[in-house]
Structure 1
Amino acid sequence: MIKLYPTTLTVALTAIALPAFSANGHYVPGVEGIGGAAVPPPGIYYRGYFVHYDIENLRDGGGSKAPGNNTGEVTALANRFIWITDKKIFGANYGAELILPLQDTSLKFEGLGVKDSDSGLGDIYFAPVLLAWHGQQWDAVFEGGYWFDTADYEPAEPASVGKGFNTTMFTLGGSWHFDVDKRWSISALSRYEIKTRQDETLVTPGDSWLVEWSLSHRLANGVEVGLVGYDAWQLERDQGRASDKAEKHAAGIETGYFWPQIGLGLNGAYYNEYNNEAGAEGDLYRITLTKVF
């Protein structure tokens, strides 16, 4: 077990010099909640995810709190552009999407003697394959995409907005509506990430898998409320360094409303992380803006 103590500062920094949001990859768990696996009908859409993550402490590979005062915050705006066509492939609507994330990170890990900050455009994501199926009481989605190593990354700077590696990401999810009016719904959306080697460190982060879930209800006035959460696991140890496998687990609440007259939706969510390993632990706040063009 690798402990996050000052005597192992080099190992600790390499373990946390990756996205403070995620278990060990690019994707930020918690950005999708209610209806996360339901893809909209053909059209062009913009979704803006404003996410703020308050780091309360660091956890070692056994889930124990690292000594000292280790705090920080990460604020991001992920700009997602979605294109869904009426072209059918295997009975699904074909589409594609692009994500341009902006991020500001500030870390004060006093227990490790670390103080660092960075901001800028993060690594860019493009998915050339997005397939969406729709039934009377269900929805399903599959996607294949790639996170490009486009942002700045420095191994000695834990707050770097870039990750220093590329990632292939596969998405699979589904929603089930308990009634034909779709007032009660359950949703699960999974992501599998396969990373390339960091050229600067010669380390290849292990594959990871996460699931975002929700149980929601749409009230008579159109407001949606629900329970949401995420669970993320690093499935393999990093190649090229001694490390523990990271985990993140969180649960929270979400509410939202969509105005069909102007094609605009707004959602807000709060997540509390309760059982993390080998990384940061804290609270995540999210506001999502959806615009139909």
Structure 2
Amino acid sequence: MKTLRKQNLLASLLLGMLAFGTHPAQAEIGHFAPALPNIRDFAVPEPGFYGAMLNYWYSADRLNDSGGNKVTTLTISPGPGPGLTLTPDIKVDIYALSPMFIWVSDYKIFGAKYAAYIAPSFATSTISASLTTLRERGASVSGRSDFGLGDLFVQPLWLGWTRKHFDFAFGYGFYAPIGRYDTETVTLPVVGSFQTEAADNLGYGFWTNQLQTAATWYPWEDKRMAVAVALTYELHGKKRDFDYTPGSNLTFNWGVSQFLPLTSDQKLLMEIGPTGYSSWQVSDDKGSHAKNPNVHDSVHAVGGQLGLTYVPWMLSINFRGMYEYASRDRFQGHSFGLNIAKKF
């Protein structure tokens, strides 16, 4: 029991350093996961009811500072004084599962199809770290959260305009902080007592409003190829139990999707294509707990998608891999996604 408490304490300490007490890096990011959607997911589909199951794995062992360099020291400084400096060796692994329920109506608003969807999330995370002080011996810890409820995404407004060679879309949604979230107090020599996020949190602890616009171009009328782009803007609320409001985020998604028939009757299609994203923090963090509020995080990623669609069943399965690069003030890693979708 003492060992477990020590691991939870150090894992909580690590989370606290990354979120509020570190210099020079912070690691609070937005709700939107740009590696999660398929290339064609930003266009509103034809009227009907759809169900989807999104699986997402993310792994990172590199934390970058505001200059894009790997962090080699972390300083806990929640208040006045010299603080405590550590040399970290960190690995983060996350798995998330999100069922989606999508309804596309037969009604038109401003000439656009009206749709709405809801996407609860469930997740588990593992943080492994070797933390060594500059004066003391180190400690290795591994903290894993139980699989549980994360934050909820609801998009009550999703409009889609369809033309012969184009699809345009606009959506408004929000993330409700219903996922497991708590804080705890950590007491350390030199530093004293300060509040951190709990090690087993699965929720972010703040609301987010999201606006999204998207355009998809089809060079051929049969839509065998799609060139898709999307812009997603996130406006975050105040974090629970802290005087801290994360800065807004802007994310650009892009992708090129090509259907290739695998059977002569074209009932079974393979989908393949490159995809990627870039995400930037576009406004300052606010509040007394914001460290270096004018330092903005950013990350870029590139990868590919491979999938199968069986047309008679309106069933698709897509696999995606993404590699992040040139991240600033946040983790840099890689992700995999496996999405299954069906029209009912």
**TM-score normalised by structure 2 residue count:** 0.77
Q: Cα offset for 1:134?
A: 0.9
State the 1:204 CA deviation.
Answer: 0.5
Task: Report the Cα offset of residue 11 of structure 1.
Answer: 4.9
Q: Distance in 1 between matches of 2:199 and 2:33?
A: 17
Alignment pair present for 1:273 and 2:324: yes
2:258 paired with 1:187: no
Question: 2:337 matched to which residue of 1?
Answer: 286
Distance 1:15-1:285 versus aligned 2 partners, 3 A rule: farther
| Paired residues of 1:13 and 1:158 also in contact (CA < 8 A) | no
Partner of 1:263: 314
Shift of 1:141: 1.0
2:7 paired residue number? none
Counterpart in the other structure of 1:242: 291
- The answer for the alignment partner of 2:255 in structure 1 is 214
Of 98-107 and 27-36, the range deviating more from structure 2: 27-36
Q: What's the offset of the Cα at 1:260?
A: 1.8
- In structure 2, the CA distance between the partners of 1:188 and 1:267, relative to structure 1 (3 Å rule), is same
User: Are 2:89 and 1:69 equivalent residues in the alignment?
Assistant: yes
Choose the corresponding residue for 2:275, options 228, 247, 264: 228
The residue number in structure 1 matching 2:116 is 96
Tell me how far 1:129 sits from its aligned partner. 0.8
SS in 2 for 1:108: strand
CA contact (8 A) 1:36 1:189 kept: no
Residues 1:136 and 2:164 are matched in the alignment? yes
Q: State the alpha-carbon separation in 1 of the partners of residues 271 and 34 from structure 2.
A: 20
Q: Distance in 2 between matches of 1:55 and 1:101?
A: 21
Tell me which amino acid in the other structure corresponds to 1:238.
D
Aligned-pair identity (%): 27
Report if aligned partners of 1:32, 1:212 keep a CA contact under 8 Å in 2: no
Q: Which residue of 2 aligns with 1:84?
A: 104
1:105 counterpart residue number: 125
**AA at the equivalent of 2:166:** W
Post-superposition offset of 1:29:
1.3
Match of 2:203 in 1: 162
Question: TM-score under structure 1 normalisation?
Answer: 0.90
Partner of 2:30: 25
Aligned partner of 2:52 among 23, 35, 47:
47
Cα distance per residue 1:63-98 (max 9 Å; x no partner): 111224211200011111111001000110111110
Report runs of 4+ in structure 1 exceeding 6 Å deviation.
Answer: none
User: 2:38 touches 2:318 (CA, 8 Å); kept in 1?
Assistant: no
> Residue 116 of structure 1 contacts residue 157 of structure 1 at CA under 8 Å; is this kept in 2?
no
Specify which of 168, 177, 190 is matched with residue 218 of structure 2. Answer: 177
Picking from 30, 39, 43, the partner of 1:38 is 43
Residue of structure 1 equivalent to 2:144? 117
Q: CA deviation digits over 1:218-272, x for unaligned, max 9?
A: 2233211100001111111210112331112100010112112222110001000
CA contact (8 A) 1:130 1:142 kept: yes
- Matched length: 283
Aligned partners of 2:120 and 2:152 also within 8 Å: yes
Q: Which runs of 5+ in 2 are unaligned?
A: 1-13, 73-87, 133-138, 183-195, 263-268
Unaligned runs of 5+ in 1: 1-7
Give 1:111 deviation, angstroms.
4.4
Separation of aligned partners in 2, 1:23 and 1:217: 35
Secondary structure at 2:250 match in 1: strand
Higher Rg of the two aligned structures:
2
CA RMSD of aligned residues (A): 2.3
- Tell me, in whole angstroms, the C-alpha distance in 1 between the residues paired with 2:181 and 2:28: 18
